């Protein structure tokens, strides 16, 4: 659905932002631990913090589409690969991006990582080093980081289906299986490593879980929370609702921890966000407009399992190229204004991707896009080595060569800084 890391040699660099002004909420270079207090996220001084920003892709610089063929099919050294990822990050993430973030009022990013089921090593040394550097890069610039696990037990998009070839199917194997236990252990490693790091906003256990039932999801979250709390009692946990549940019903896991915020993805109405259409407009006898969005989230916030807890919409946006104009902008504007008025934290999907030309804040022109697709395809298939890529080609990952949708930027900036567009 949103997991468009299908063709990423690059990192999708993304950023999260703040409600009210960033300067009002969090003094520069003074990030503190966040915690849940009733239905709010607050800092150590009890000040309410509303988190706003972007998804940024894999924090190691190595996407799943690069990793799996390279390591599983060709048997190459993962630590060497993650070393290449560190190098690539120096091009796709730099001070230009920090300046853009600060100008927009960003205060959080959602940082992706994956695990290797078939290798005895849970996380590789170079992978963790890249993660450390990425977290420091954002944290030292006053931007929180939310780590999220992907590629295991996710939604049913093509990239996730392909992972099953590598036996990465969490729900079929179930509780107590090797992959289940490895995910739990991995979160223990993450929690132990970052328990004293105030740059971490909290932990998002798995991207868009697609489970056969709510009971197995509740068991999964209970096991992860138990493992995390063995090492880390400070950070918030942000469990996601099941991707197949477009509304929140009977989420037993919402009461598993006192320091918990509910995490939700919003891509409704699907006929509009994926295929395009007229907004405001009607579909199957339902009128979709600002009032519909407000009612949708009022129902969620008032549900028995959600009421009294903070809500984070960690993904929203759309996938249709036809929505790049005023039609899509009106929809984003209504979403952002609704989130702000209801004190909901949110992250847009997404910031940039050198190989996708739709729905992002920054997109490539067609010539560069095709060059990047060709380059990544050869790299993924092993037809070229990373060391064959020239500095000129790596420079194509820099944000300054991308086209920016300035209208969307103004809408998101106004939302992140608490102004009604």
In this structure, is residue 3 part of a structural domain? Answer: no
Q: Kindly report the number of other CB atoms within 10 A of residue 319's CB atom.
A: 18
**Is the preceding peptide bond at 116 cis, omega within 30 degrees of 0?**
no
In this structure, is residue 8 part of a structural domain? Answer: no
In this structure, is residue 234 part of a structural domain? Answer: yes
Q: Residue 96's pLDDT is what? A: 92
For residue 51, with 0-12 CB atoms within 10 Å meaning exposed, 13-18 middle and 19 or more buried, which class applies?
buried
Write down the pTM of the prediction. Answer: 0.88
The percent of residues above 90 in pLDDT, for the chain, comes to 45
18-50 pLDDT per residue, tens: 333 333 334 445 899 999 999 999 999 999 999
In this structure, is residue 272 part of a structural domain? Answer: yes
- Of 12-16, 242-246, 396-400, which has the strongest mean pLDDT? 396-400
The CATH number of residue 182's host domain is 3.20.20.80
Listed residue (311, 308, 233, 321) closest to 273, CA to CA:
321
Contact 22, 52 (CB under 8 A): no
In this structure, is residue 10 part of a structural domain? Answer: no
375-387 pLDDT per residue, tens: 889 999 999 999 9
In this structure, is residue 124 part of a structural domain? Answer: yes
Structure tokens at 350: 């997404």
Listed residue (149, 304, 339, 322) closest to 228, CA to CA:
149
**Residue 223 belongs to domain spanning:** 16-416
Q: Kindly report the number of other CB atoms within 10 A of residue 303's CB atom.
A: 17
394-416 pLDDT per residue, tens: 998 888 888 888 888 999 999 99
In this structure, is residue 421 part of a structural domain? Answer: no
Contact 421, 408 (CB under 8 A): no
Q: Residue 154's pLDDT is what? A: 77
Question: Which one is predicted more confidently, 141 or 404?
Answer: 141
Q: Residue 215's pLDDT is what? A: 85
303-335 pLDDT per residue, tens: 888 889 999 999 998 876 656 667 788 999 999
Q: How confident is the model at residue 4 (pLDDT cuts 50, 70, 90)?
A: very low
Q: Residue 6's pLDDT is what? A: 32
In this structure, is residue 5 part of a structural domain? Answer: no
Q: How confident is the model at residue 9 (pLDDT cuts 50, 70, 90)?
A: very low
Residue 91 has pLDDT above 80, yes or no: yes
**Exposed e or buried b for every residue in 158-187, given b needs 16+ CB within 10 A?**
ebbebbeebebbbbebeeeeebbebbbebb
Q: How many domains does the chain have?
A: 1
153-199 pLDDT per residue, tens: 776 665 566 566 666 678 887 899 888 998 999 999 999 999 999 99
């Amino acid at each position: 659905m949103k997991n468009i890391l299908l063709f990423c040699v690059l990192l999708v660099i993304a950023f999260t932002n703040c409600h009210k002004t960033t300067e009002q909420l969090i003094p520069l270079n003074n990030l503190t631990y966040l915690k849940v207090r009733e239905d709010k996220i607050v800092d150590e001084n009890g000040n309410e913090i509303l988190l706003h920003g972007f998804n940024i892709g894999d924090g190691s610089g190595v996407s799943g589409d690069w990793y799996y063929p390279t390591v599983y099919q060709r048997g190459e050294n993962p630590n060497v690969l993650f070393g290449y990822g560190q190098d690539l990050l120096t091009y796709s993430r730099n001070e230009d991006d920090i300046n853009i973030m600060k100008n927009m009022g960003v205060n959080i990013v959602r940082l992706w990582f994956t695990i290797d089921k078939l290798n005895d090593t849970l996380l590789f040394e170079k992978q963790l080093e890249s993660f450390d550097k990425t977290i420091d890069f954002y944290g030292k610039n006053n931007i929180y980081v939310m780590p999220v696990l992907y590629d295991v037990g996710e939604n049913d998009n093509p990239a996730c289906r392909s992972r099953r070839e590598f036996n990465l199917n969490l729900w079929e194997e179930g509780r107590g299986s090797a992959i289940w236990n490895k995910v739990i252990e991995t979160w223990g490693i993450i929690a132990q490593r970052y328990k004293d790091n105030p740059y971490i906003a909290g932990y998002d256990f798995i991207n868009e879980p697609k489970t056969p039932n709510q009971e197995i999801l509740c068991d999964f979250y209970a096991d992860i929370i138990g493992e995390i709390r063995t090492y880390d009692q400070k950070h918030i946990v942000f469990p996601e609702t099941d991707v197949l549940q477009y509304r929140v019903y009977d989420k037993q896991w919402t009461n598993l921890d006192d320091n918990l915020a509910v995490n939700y993805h919003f891509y409704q109405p699907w006929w509009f966000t994926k295929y395009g259409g007229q907004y405001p407009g009607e579909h199957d006898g339902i009128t979709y407009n600002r009032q519909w969005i407000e009612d949708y989230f009022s129902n969620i916030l008032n549900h028995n399992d959600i009421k009294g807890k903070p809500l984070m919409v960690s993904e929203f946006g759309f996938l249709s190229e036809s929505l790049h104009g005023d039609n899509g902008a009106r929809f984003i504007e209504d979403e952002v204004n609704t989130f702000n008025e209801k004190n909901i934290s949110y992250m847009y999907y997404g910031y940039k991707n050198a190989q996708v030309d739709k729905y992002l804040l920054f997109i490539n022109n067609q010539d560069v896009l095709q060059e990047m697709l060709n380059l990544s395809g050869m790299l993924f298939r092993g037809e070229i080595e990373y060391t064959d890529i020239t500095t000129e080609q790596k420079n194509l990952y820099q944000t300054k060569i991308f086209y920016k949708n300035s209208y969307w930027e103004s809408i998101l900036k106004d939302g992140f800084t608490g102004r009604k567009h």
